[in-house]
Structure 1
Amino acid sequence: MSTAVRVASACLAALLAALSAAVLGGAPPAAAAAVRAGAVTGTGSWSVQPAGTTGRPAFVMDSAPGSVVKDAVRVSNLSGAPLSFQVYGSDAYNTPRDGALAYRQAGEAQTGLGSWLTLGTNALVIPPGRAADIPFTLHVPADATPGSHVGGIVALNNAVEQAGEASGVDVGIQRAIAVRIQLTVEGPVTPGLAVRSVRVGHHPSGTPFAGARATLTYTVVNTGNAALRPTVSPRVDGLFGLRHGVIADRTLPLLLPGQSAEISADWPDAPGLDYLTASVRVTAPGLPATSAQSGRVVLSWPTLGAVAALLAVLAVALGWLRRKRSGRTGAVS
């Protein structure tokens, strides 16, 4: 998880930065994975999940525009000491890189589902070994658009954990966990996916005739109004299909309507010289597959230099043989 710098003269600013790392306002994909539904912190000292005994990993709801939904979230203190929390509603989004599901931090404007939530409390202290159920109300606007609306309830541990020292400055982190709320508003649901910006980056070896490393990059876009978990199947072929890049299929995190994810995959044994065709096929349950492709010539200058040198040597040798043969012919005549 990302870290935030805490300096004594700017404690509040550092705490907000730490919250950004914990709840992912612009944090990297690794941090996004750390704030997930029904998760337990890395220390195993506390957890957040839907209240009740049904074992729900997330809140999944269907509702009409203008309706009110009530439920409760449970925050559990699994440690041996009291823990203090801030709890708030948050909009979910996909991080641009890798599409990890993330949540807005408390200081950011909540314009979607996060703004529809009213919690019974936004601050609490939980004794050791105890849990607290916080009721909440979800007010669905009368003009809410049909389809998926995703957000969460975030619990932020107020404690700042010391993470060491960097360049003479104390470094601390705050940890947060979100439980996902996935609401489907009644009305026409039109799921859709697209693949865009398929491209191949080529990094040849410095050794002639050696293999190269290639990177396939593409963007998957949710063009509909339903949250989806796309599965992508990348493929890279050489000229006449002589080479095939083996890149494993992967299932992306929940991709929200209107959101996109840029994905990169490495091909470590790519050819040094070829014409490569990259294609990406994306599917999701209930949707026809869609795909996109692009092609490019890849060159290895060390290999081209070696080939040019060999051709030059061959040309010199052929010229020498012609002159020698011509000299023999003249002597015979």
Structure 2
Amino acid sequence: MDMVGVTRRSSTRVAVLAIGLVLISGMSSLSRSGPSESATAAETAPTSAAATATAPTPTCPRPKLTSTRATGGTTQFGWLLQPGPSTTQQRDWLQYNVTAGTVICDSVTLTNSSRRAVSVQLYAADAYNIAADGGFAFTAFHQRTRGVGTWITLPITKVTVASGRAVTIPIVVRVPATVTPGDTAGGVVARETRVRHGQKVSGVDVGVRAGVGVRLYANVAGVRRPELSLTDLELHLRGGLLSRFLGSSTAIVTYRVGNAGNVRLSPTSGGKVTTRTRTIGLPEHEFAELLPGSPRIAVEDSVHGLRWGSLIGRVRVEVTVTADGAEAVTMEKSVWRVPWLSLIALAAAIALIATVLVVRRRRHRVTGDVAKDAEDAEELDPVAS
């Protein structure tokens, strides 16, 4: 959610209105659910064959809105944006197999199941993966587009839909002549014009500007190059002062997974941490969809229970990333542990034992010398008669 702060001043207080944009992948089969649930449903839906919305033509019909009775699913906002009607199949998203210069005439449908009219502003967006968790996201309203968002033309950008109605809105997709082969993604986003006010938090009036998006996937003909990337592998041993005597209790493993090719991938990552005494597996991570060119996804895992095996010697981590159609990538990293405090304590103990032995030996020698002197003295003294 992109938050924008707007400050309003009055004579008695200052209220801050936070305006957010929630992007949802439109799906015709959605029931009443929140934006995150909608996005997840779209990600886990099976990939369908590329839709042929309308045969590619040099020009598209004159744009017009088509209104029908609202049917099907909705979202928590009471309205939903989804792909327009197709004569061939029901679609969860817009998907095309294209070549350079292709022109596609298609549509999206905004369904208003709420009890009031809904006014939205439409815009074309690029798609990317969120670096924190790999989630699918659209670029924000005022953000400049550089990919599929530049291919999409919206003849109509502002629409008001009455309660209980659905409006089909035309779109035009023009593939550039200089496009490169591979998979790319973007979408059409409907952004509600009004702000929905929520609860006050610490005197701040928080509101949300709802937005719902329809994904658009384009598979550009040409050489396909699936390639994974695995970078920035790090291993840190934790455990505080006690770890210097008993070994680290926890290992922190961090790395980044990316898509270095030109094909959408759904990779899985995993690995293991190995000490002198044991091997512990890392959690497995599944990424629903990594888009080419998106930021690399950060992963952090914690491994517990190392202890004695990590006290001295080498602790090694190995991470592997795999995906259907792509070559697996593996990285390794080692950390050598020298338990300085343990060695110092051991040296101190040895020194103490040596000191005790030396002192005892000296005492024994002194005692022996005294006894011998006493015996010699008795031999020299005359015996009284």
TM-score by length of 2: 0.71
Correspondence for 1:287 among 326, 333, 357: 326
CA contact (8 A) 1:38 1:47 kept: no
Q: Is the 8 A contact 1:153 1:178 kept in 2?
A: yes
Equivalent position SS for 1:61: strand
Amino acid at match of 1:263: A
Q: Which has the larger radius of gyration?
A: 2
* Counterpart Cα distance in 2 of 1:219 and 1:309: 39
Q: Given the alignment, which residue of 48, 72, 82 partners 2:107?
A: 72
Evaluate the alpha carbon distance shift between residue 139 and residue 322 of structure 1 in structure 2; reply closer, same or farther with a 3 A threshold.
same
What are the within-5 Å matches in structure 2 for residues 149-168 of structure 1? 149-166=184-201, 168=203
C-alpha deviation, 1:70, in angstroms: 2.2
SS at match of 2:22: helix
2:282 and 2:303 in contact (8 A); partners too? no
Rounded Cα–Cα distance in structure 2 between residues aligned with 1:198 and 1:41: 42
Q: Which amino acid aligns with 1:36?
A: A
- Identify the structure with bigger relative contact order (alpha carbons < 8 Å, sequence gap 6+): 1
- Tell me which amino acid in the other structure corresponds to 2:323: A
How far 1:327 sits from its partner (Å)?
A: 3.0
Deviations 1:90-146 (A, max 9, x none): 011223333322211121111211111122421212222332222211101111111
Match of 1:254 in 2: 289
Partner residue of 1:27? Answer: none
Instruction: Show the counterpart of 2:269.
Output: 232
Between the aligned partners of 1:298 and 1:125, the Cα distance in structure 2 is: 66
Match of 2:78 in 1: 45
CA distance in 1, matches of 2:281, 2:40: 33
* Equivalent-residue separation in structure 1 for 2:297 and 2:249 (angstroms): 23
Contact 1:36 1:178 in 2 (8 A): no
Q: What is the aligned-residue identity percentage?
A: 28
Amino acid at match of 1:196: T
Question: What does 1:173-322 align with in structure 2 at a 5 Å threshold?
Answer: 173-207=208-242, 209=246, 211-239=248-276, 242-269=277-304, 271=306, 273=311, 275-297=314-336, 305=341, 308-309=344-345, 311-322=347-358
TM-score, normalising length: structure 1 = 0.81
Tell me, which stretches of 5 or more residues in structure 2 are unaligned?
10-15, 25-33, 43-72, 370-385
Alpha-carbon distance in structure 2 between the residues aligned to 1:117 and 1:37: 24
Equivalent residue pairs, number: 316
Larger displacement relative to structure 2 (133-142 or 118-127): 118-127
Give the AA of the match of 1:90.
A
Distance 1:2 1:113, change over 3 A: closer
- 2:291 and 2:232 mapped to 1: Cα distance? 19
- Give the deviation of 1:294 after TM superposition: 1.6
Letter in 2 for 1:136: I
Is 1:81 equivalent to 2:120 in the alignment? no
Amino acid at match of 1:48: L
Q: Does residue 148 of structure 2 align to residue 145 of structure 1?
A: no
- The answer for unaligned runs of 5 or more in structure 1 is 25-30
Asked if structure 2 preserves the Cα contact closer than 8 Å seen for 1:222 and 1:257, the reply is: yes
1:202 and 1:6 mapped to 2: Cα distance?
44
The letter for the 1-side match of 2:334 is G
Q: What is the CA distance between 1:290 and its match in structure 2? A: 1.4
Q: Where does residue 28 of structure 1 map in the other structure?
A: none
Q: 1:57 aligns to what?
A: 92
Rounded to whole Å, the distance in 2 between the matches of 1:235 and 1:44 is 44
The structural deviation recorded for 1:164 is 3.2
What is the aligned-residue RMSD (CA, Å)?
Answer: 3.2
1:236 counterpart letter in structure 2:
V
SS in 1 for 2:283: coil
Q: How does 1:89-128 map to 2 (within 5 A)?
A: 89-128=124-163
- Inter-CA distance 84–214: structure 2 relative to 1 (3 Å threshold): farther
CA distance in 2, matches of 1:96, 1:308: 44
Cα distance in 1, alignment partners of residues 229 and 100 from structure 2: 28
CA drift of 1:222 comes to 1.6
Shift of the 165–7 alpha-carbon distance from structure 1 to 2, 3 Å rule, reads farther
SS state at 2:353 partner: helix
Report if the CA contact (8 A) 2:105-2:173 is conserved.
yes
Q: Partner amino acid for 2:192?
A: N
Give the conservation status (yes or no) of the 8 Å contact 2:83–2:107: yes
- Partner Cα separation in structure 2 for residue 23 and residue 51 of structure 1: 18
1:327 counterpart SS class:
helix
* Structure 2 CA distance for partners of 1:138 and 1:313, relative to 1, 3 Å: same
Deviation at 1:323, TM superposition (A): 2.4
Asked whether the equivalents of residues 246 and 267 of structure 1 are also in contact (C-alpha less than 8 Å), the reply is no
Distance in 2 (CA, whole Å) between partners of 1:331 and 1:49 is 101
